[in-house]
């Protein structure tokens, strides 16, 4: 029927045939739907709370929490307010996530590289590891590690010890240097060493770019940092007092300690995520053109040098984005710590829900904490990604 040539509708024609108009309508409908749903939910919640006399709002954050927290990096007392309790939870989450990310990166990279080993046993072992650990839910792995930690380790009363390290159901106790003002000098020395090492590294890099002479980029700076710390320690009068854990009547007392909950969460997160990270590393290395590795061998580089100087730096560009995802996953998975009694932010939030009844507020807080952490990690990794990208000159 439509044989006659149709004139295309004008873009700004306010009829249903205009794309722009339809687009506008679609958007209005969507916005209306979103607004209606939001209003519907908010209205119901407010109505429910009003009718039943449920109190709401974030004012509870400044009231006394009234409960204790098993482990905290800074002092927390039951007289402290709720916001401080949440802070303890956030710090605990970040602590396990940060240590976890560090260890996962190391373990995952090693296993990923191990998949390319010329040794069949190493290859097979790495592959078995990856298949086994990534195909089992992380929650079960956490529960299993915790079960093993609480069942197999010796009782608190007869903690096993290797030197000053005690291991029992109460956790791992280790000596820590007894705090004195002299340690400030060590810290200052460490800081100075870091600055000097950074400056040295930059200079070496610049010299490499100008002259092509390669200096040590890792061991020399490391030595500078260590020497700096040692000088600081010497200047502070070489304090050597250590707080060594010893067996008390019921438990190991003194020294630093890590609870079995922390260790189980850390172990579960690291072993699970490392399987994924190793796959990321493997596919990254595989993505580097084969000619690169042939060229490296033609130059006479050893297998280790080839990996370190040719393959990994190029693979890094492919690795970083999926690696960021794995870091985010690890951080989010740390919320499962609640299942085995590690006081992370979810666990504290749960307790707060029960003590105050503010379910909506507490869950919103938990979500915001994770959102901010995720965003911050993304931004940080985005910055690093830009640094590692190919620099066109």
Partner 1 sequence: MADTIIFQSLPPRPAPVRTEGLVPWIRSNLFGSVPSAIATLIIGGVLFYFLPKLLNWAVFTATVVPNVDACRADGAGACWGVIAEKYRLILFGRYPFEEQWRPLVATLLLIALIVASCTRAFWSKWLAVLWVIVLAVYFVVMAGGVLGLSAVTTDRWGGLPLTIMLTTLSMVLAFPLALLVALGRRSSLPAIRSFCTVYVELVRGVPLISVLFMASFMFPLFMPQGVSIDVLIRALAGITLFTAAYLAEVIRGGLQALPKGQSEAAASLGLSYWQTQRKIILPQALAMVVPGIMNSFISMFKDTSLVSIVSMYELTGALGLALNSDANWRPFKLEGYIFIVAIYFCFCFAMSRYSLWIEKQTNKSRLR
Partner 2 sequence: MKLTQTKVALGALLALGALATAPAHAGATLDKIKKNGQVVCGVNTGLAGFSQADSNGAWSGLDVDICRAIAAAVLGDGNKVKWVPLGAQQRFTALQSGEVDILSRNTTFSLTRDASLGLHDTVVTYYDGQGFMVPTKSKIKDAKQLKGQTVCVQSGTTTEKNLTDFSKTNGLGIKPVVFEKVEAATGAYFAGRCVAYTTDASGLASVRNKEAKNPDDHVILPQLISKEPLGPMVRRGDDEWFAIAKWVIYGLIESEEYGITQHNVDQMKSSQDPVVQRILGTTEDTGKLLGLDKDWMTRALKTVGNYGEIFERNVGPKSALKLPRGVNNQWNKGGLMYAYPVR
Considering only 14, 39, 47, 198, the residue that binds partner 1 (CB under 8 A) is 47
Considering only 1, 4, 121, 298, the residue that binds partner 1 (CB under 8 A) is 121
Q: Give the integer Cα–Cα distance in Å for 353 and 86.
A: 12
Cα R_g (the chain), whole angstroms:
28
Q: Which of 264, 269, 287 is nearest to 112 (CA)?
A: 287
Question: Residue 334 CB, nearest distance to partner 2 (Å)?
Answer: 14
Collapsed DSSP state (helix, strand, coil) of residue 38:
helix
Between 100 and 171, name the residue whose CB sits nearer to partner 2: 171
List residues bridging with 176 in a β-sheet: 243
CB 275 within 8 A of CB 302: no
Q: Is 78 in the site for partner 1 (CB under 8 A)?
A: no
Of 233-272, which residues contact partner 1 (CB under 8 A)? none
Question: Residue 269 CB, nearest distance to partner 2 (Å)?
Answer: 17
Q: Which of 269, 383, 385 is nearest to 328 (CA)?
A: 269
Of 87-146, which residues contact partner 2 (CB under 8 A)? none
Of 241-270, which residues contact partner 2 (CB under 8 A)? 248, 250-251, 253, 259-261
Q: Which of 48, 90, 84 is nearest to 367 (CA)?
A: 90
Q: Is 151 in the site for partner 1 (CB under 8 A)?
A: yes
Of 288-347, which residues contact partner 2 (CB under 8 A)? 338-341, 343, 347
Q: Give the integer Cα–Cα distance in Å for 232 and 195.
A: 14
Whose tokens are 């438990």? That residue is 251
CB 173 within 8 A of CB 166: yes
Q: Give the integer Cα–Cα distance in Å for 128 and 85.
A: 42
Q: Give the integer Cα–Cα distance in Å for 115 and 130.
A: 10
Which residues are at the interface with partner 2 (CB under 8 A)? 14-16, 21, 24-25, 28-29, 32, 35-36, 39-40, 43-44, 47-49, 51-55, 66-71, 78, 147, 150-151, 155-157, 169-170, 248, 250-251, 253, 259-261, 338-341, 343, 347, 350-351, 353-357, 359
**Contact positions toward partner 1, by CB under 8 A?**
23, 26-27, 30-31, 34, 41, 44-45, 47-49, 51, 117-122, 125, 131-132, 134-140, 143-144, 147-148, 151, 328, 332-333, 335-336, 338-339, 346, 350, 353, 359-360, 363, 366-367, 370-371, 374-375
């Amino acid at each position: 029927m439509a044989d006659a040539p149709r004139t295309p509708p004008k873009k700004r024609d306010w009829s249903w045939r205009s794309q722009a108009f339809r687009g506008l309508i679609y958007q209005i409908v969507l916005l209306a739907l979103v607004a209606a749903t939001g209003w519907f939910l908010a209205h119901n919640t407010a109505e429910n709370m009003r009718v039943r006399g449920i109190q709401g709002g974030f004012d509870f954050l400044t009231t006394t929490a009234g409960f204790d927290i098993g482990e905290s990096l800074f002092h927390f007392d039951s007289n402290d307010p709720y916001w401080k309790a949440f802070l303890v939870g956030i710090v605990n989450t970040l602590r396990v996530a940060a240590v976890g990310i560090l260890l996962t990166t190391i373990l995952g990279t090693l296993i990923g590289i191990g998949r390319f080993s010329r040794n069949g046993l190493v290859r097979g072992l790495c592959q078995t590891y990856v298949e086994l650990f990534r195909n089992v839910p992380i929650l079960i792995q956490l529960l299993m590690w915790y079960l093993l930690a609480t069942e197999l380790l010796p009782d608190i009363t007869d903690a096993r010890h290797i030197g000053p390290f005690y291991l029992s159901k109460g956790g791992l106790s280790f000596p820590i240097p007894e705090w004195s003002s002299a340690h400030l000098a060590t810290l200052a020395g460490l800081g100075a060493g870091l600055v000097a090492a950074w400056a040295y590294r930059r200079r070496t890099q610049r010299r490499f770019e100008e002259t092509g002479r390669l200096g040590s980029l890792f061991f020399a700076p490391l030595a500078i940092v260590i020497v700096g710390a040692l000088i600081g320690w010497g200047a502070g009068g070489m304090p050597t007092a250590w707080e060594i854990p010893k067996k008390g009547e019921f438990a190991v007392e003194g020294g630093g300690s890590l609870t079995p909950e922390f260790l189980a969460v850390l172990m579960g997160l690291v072993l699970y995520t490392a399987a994924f990270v190793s796959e990321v590393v493997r596919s990254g290395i595989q993505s580097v053109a084969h000619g690169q590795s042939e060229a490296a061998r033609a130059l006479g580089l050893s297998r280790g040098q080839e990996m370190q100087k040719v393959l990994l730096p190029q693979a890094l560009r492919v690795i970083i984005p999926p690696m960021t995802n794995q870091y985010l996953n690890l951080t989010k998975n740390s919320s499962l710590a609640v299942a085995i009694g590690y006081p992370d932010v979810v666990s504290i939030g749960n307790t707060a829900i029960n003590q105050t009844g503010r379910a909506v507020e507490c869950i919103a807080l938990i979500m915001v904490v994770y959102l901010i952490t995720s965003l911050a990690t993304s931004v940080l990794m985005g910055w690093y990604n830009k640094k590692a990208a190919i620099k066109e000159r």
